[in-house]
Amino acid sequence: MDNTASLFDVDYVDAVSANRRSVSKPLSLVTGTGYRIYRDCILPSIRAAEQEVILVTCFWASSTTRNLLHDELVSLSQQASTKGPSNKICVHICFSSSSMARNMLLPTPEHGQRYSSKEWYKLGLPRPHQISNLNLRITRKFYRPFGIIHSKYVIIDRKLAIFPSCNVSWERWYEAALVVEGPVVQDLLSFHSNFWEYNSKLAALAPSLSNGNIKSAFPTTLTRLGAPATLLPSPHTPGVLPDHLRPRSLFGICSCLPAQAASYPPTPLLAATHHLIATAQTSITMITPNLTAPAVLHAMDEALERGVHIVLHTNRNLMTLEQLVTAGTTTPRCVKKLKRLSGVAKGSTAGRLDVHYFDERSTSRTRYHGRARDVERAEEADNVETVPVKLHAKVTIVDDKRIMFGSGNMDAASWKTSQELGVLIESEEVVEEFSNQWEYGSLVL
């Protein structure tokens, strides 16, 4: 068997992304809990907005983060009023879920559910008289039974994009957010318009009202010039049954029938992610809440055969019921199977698989270099919100040169039914910055 991997092909990535690969400028990388990312990055960026804020998330729930967003919108309206009563800032908030019961009982029409101003307070948002200088719109989309809109992003004044992994919710999970400017922002605007505006063209913004600099709103941790960046959408794939319950998968269980090859919808995000893993030469670092997607597991097994070193950071117990429903299995089971496959004699060139369960680190602190940062953070006034207990970031690093951020997990839901969004950055600087901020175990660097 020829275990030599094909080389990473930029032309392939550009083609599967519909020519979205371009040079953009990563400005900042922020990690920590969702609360911390909103506090230190997203809310300061909203504060600097002059004309428009677009905020898209998956889960919307009562939380400290939502309370902070409420107060920020009130302040933004007051700030806009100082520039004249006719000065209005447009704010569009989009989300998919506020409760599972609501999703099942009240799916939305294709164009989404629009909330009237009388309903804003039910979502934890200001009442109309509190934000008279904002043009606020709220839209929800969810398609039954598995049509979650999982993508997450923020766009400020059509100049700046933030790709966070976090929801607006209470979970104390480790997250990551990348801030970018450049052509990728326009690609994101086009994606947003096609899906959330139902293909309507966005109204033009007026010329900048001031010389304000959005980038001064948050710490700039990345300093070099631009890097190739590719926006990678993954549209929702409708289906009545999860993939593992479809006849083709069930028939594949029978030993008398040929095994079915692991497949996935050929969306830009999934095709590019698979290509990243399939072309890895030396190393893969995979940070994902869960790992149950057969196509990913198969690609990882092939990478190990080629001698690639893989470090996996995931959770042992996170959304287990959802995994059983959407995949018919769980992350620990899949990891065990992958370890067993990687342990089969494959010659001296076989790679190594290192697995770390993030939610077990408190009982095995020495595995994480004995760092006491959690203890230090617990001394902060808002320690309850800043110490993560689970892993929710979605980051894939290949050969120390390319790094993927976004909303997509390496699980069956993200690879079969959910709408996702990712951004691929070809930059050693961004890889290095993430490794400097990561403090929960080894990375392949």
CB-neighbour burial class of residue 158 (10 A; exposed 0-12, middle 13-18, buried 19+):
middle
CB–CB of 149/112 below 8 Å?
no
> Looking at residue 212, what is its pLDDT?
56
Check pLDDT > 80 for residue 411: yes
pLDDT at 259: 46
Which residues contact residue 215 at a Cβ distance below 8 angstroms, ignoring those fewer than 6 apart? 27, 160, 181
Q: What is the mean pLDDT of residues 109-123?
A: 91
pLDDT band at 104 (very low <50, low <70, confident <90, very high): low
d(CA 297, CA 303): 10
Q: How far apart are CA 95 and CA 98, in angstroms?
A: 8
60/85: higher pLDDT: 60
How large is the angle between the packed helices 268-278 and 294-305, nearest 10 degrees?
20
Query: Where do we find the tokens 């429903």?
Result: 325
Residue percentage of the chain with pLDDT more than 70: 82
Residue 371 pLDDT: 42
Query: Which SS3 state, helix, strand or coil, does residue 254 take?
Result: coil
What pLDDT shows up at residue 4?
61
Averaged pLDDT for residues 306-313: 95
78-92, 126-140, 244-258: least confident range: 244-258
Mean pLDDT of the chain: 86
**Which segment of 89-93, 126-130, 146-150, 393-397 scores lowest on mean pLDDT?**
146-150
Closest CA to 190 of 8, 366, 18, 5: 18
Q: What is the pLDDT of residue 71?
A: 98
- Greatest mean pLDDT range, 82-96, 325-339, 390-404: 390-404
Which segment of 79-88, 221-230, 239-248 scores lowest on mean pLDDT? 239-248
Q: Which residues of 272-291 are buried (b: 16+ CB within 10 A; e: fewer)?
A: bbbbbbbbbbebbbbbbbbb
Residue 207 has pLDDT above 50, yes or no: yes
pLDDT level of residue 364 (50, 70, 90 thresholds) = very low
Residues 6+ apart with CB under 8 A from 58: 95, 96, 97, 148, 149, 150, 151, 152, 167, 407
Task: For residue 195, give the 3-state DSSP assignment.
Answer: helix
Angle between helices 294-305 and 331-343 (to 10 degrees): 20
For residue 145, whether the previous peptide bond is cis, meaning omega lies within 30 degrees of 0, is: yes
**pLDDT exceeds cutoff 50 at 298:** yes
CB atoms within 10 A of CB 359: 16
Sign of the C-alpha dihedral, residues 238, 239, 240, 241? negative
Q: What would you report as the CA-atom Rg of the chain, rounded to the nearest whole angstrom?
A: 22
pLDDT at 369 over 80: no
- Whole-number pLDDT of residue 344: 59
What is the mean pLDDT of the segment spanning 59-72?
97
Query: How confident is residue 379, by pLDDT bands cut at 50, 70 and 90?
Result: very low
For 149-156, what is the mean pLDDT? 97
127-143 as b/e, with b when 16 or more CB fall inside 10 Å? Answer: eeebbebbebbbbbbbb
- 363 band by pLDDT with thresholds 50, 70 and 90: very low
Q: What stretch of H or E contains 52?
A: strand 52-56
Q: Where are the alpha helices (DSSP H) in 219-267?
A: 247-251
Rounded mean pLDDT of 12-26?
A: 97
pLDDT score at 413: 92
Higher pLDDT, 93 or 253: 93
Tell me if 399 sits within 8 A of 283, measured CB to CB.
yes
Between 163-177, 227-241, 381-395, the lowest mean confidence (pLDDT) is in 227-241
pLDDT digits (tens, 9 = 90+) for 231-282: 999 987 665 455 655 555 544 444 443 445 678 999 999 999 999 999 999 9
Q: Specify whether the CB–CB gap between 310 and 354 falls below 8 A.
A: yes
Summary count for the chain: helices (H), strands (E): 15, 16
What is the average pLDDT across 191-211?
80
pLDDT, position 245? 52
Rounded CA separation 380/402 (Å): 34
Q: Got the DSSP string for 291-350? A: B--HHHHHHHHHHHHTT-EEEEEE-SSSSHHHHHHHHSS-HHHHHHHHHHHHHS---TT-
Q: Is the pLDDT of residue 193 over 70?
A: yes
Q: Is the Cβ–Cβ distance between 404 and 396 less than 8 Å?
A: yes
Residues 6+ apart with CB under 8 A from 60: 66, 95, 97, 98, 123, 167, 168, 169
